[in-house]
Amino acid sequence: MPELPEVETIACGLRPQLTGRRIVSVAVCNEGTVQGDAAAFARCVPGRVIAGVGRRGKLLLMELAPPDGSDGSDGPAVTDGEAGGADEARSAGTGTDVPTDASPDAPRDAADLMACRDVAGRMAGSGAVTGAARSVESGESGGASGNRVPHLLGVHLKMTGRLFVYGPEVAPNAHTRVVFGLDDGNRLFFDDARKFGYVRALSDADLATWDFWRSLGPEPLEIAAPDFAALFRGRRGRIKALLLDQTVIAGIGNIYADESLFRASIRPDAQAGELSPDRLRVLHGHLVDVLRESIAECGSSIRDYRDAHGDAGAFQNRFRVYGRSGQPCVACGRMLTTGKVAGRTTVFCAQCQKLK
């Protein structure tokens, strides 16, 4: 499954192709791919302008704006048609949005990465969503919490999802699930061989009540080292399992958990609550380094991942432990050990990585 660096890379690749483009049609080739309020998706997504492309955790986001500065409450009529047609549509959505800024203590150069992830300045955070959720749950209306006009389009790639912009001459294929027609004649395809991925239209009110969004932990490239260490204080559970838990920290998966733990000399099965704050701050530094290095290499391509231009990433050529089971450690030469943590295959060096 694409992790933070891969989704970041896709967002950066799509941004110049999509920003400012108006969605003129939406054709849904597989109804199960669209989550949330299908009626709102079909009614409100066509006619909106893509104002920015960003990311929250592993979720790719496109900001939707009305073309004429109105509230965009009424989208153009949408008609059903054969799957793959450029002017047909059916769909779904759900969500909410939030403005946030990076902490002044965030990792160095985090602002550059935020510009890529949070280009519109309103695609991440939790405070505003929490407040909006309280208003929605208490029955209040009006304001951001009462706005049910989708202003974000969320895409979760899961295992095999891909997003590509094609010219009008390219026809949808057997794995194309949603086609977004654009005002320049091009089309954005969401292809997904295994059908685990989804698209979802998101309004403020929807985001306030979407458990997935509300539960996302902080961004590893934006949280300061002391705050990162505090996430694990007194926590029961193995450190890798908590790194994989999207409610603890967002965007980390198997690859970057293994790689950062190796660099920090921490065994993946170490109890998080027994690690000192100093060791956790060291882990944070290595995690940030690993993520930035992978973003610079356009992510890791193991099986299906390709960026927005169809190119493979290159960070897999720099793996020190992930996928190297039974091979010698690059640091000490001892054979790497393979085990299971949180149900995931885990590779580590029993010599270089310590439990405490």
**Of the residues 158, 195, 320, 344, which is catalytic?**
344
The reply to whether 3 belongs to the active site is yes
Write the DSSP string, 135-194: HHHTT--STGGG--S--EEEEE-TTTEEEEEE-TTPPP-TTEEEEEEETTS-EEEEEETT
Containing 39, the helix (H) or strand (E) segment is helix 38-44
Q: What share of the chain is helix, strand, coil (3-state, %, to 5)?
A: 30, 20, 50
- 36, 93 Cβ separation under 8 angstroms: yes
**Of the residues 21, 58, 162, 240, which is catalytic?**
58
The reply to whether 58 belongs to the active site is yes
Tokens 């705050």 — which residue?
A: 227
3-class secondary structure, 54: strand
The reply to whether 344 belongs to the active site is yes
**Of the residues 3, 8, 63, 259, which is catalytic?**
3
Give the active site residues. 2-3, 58, 344
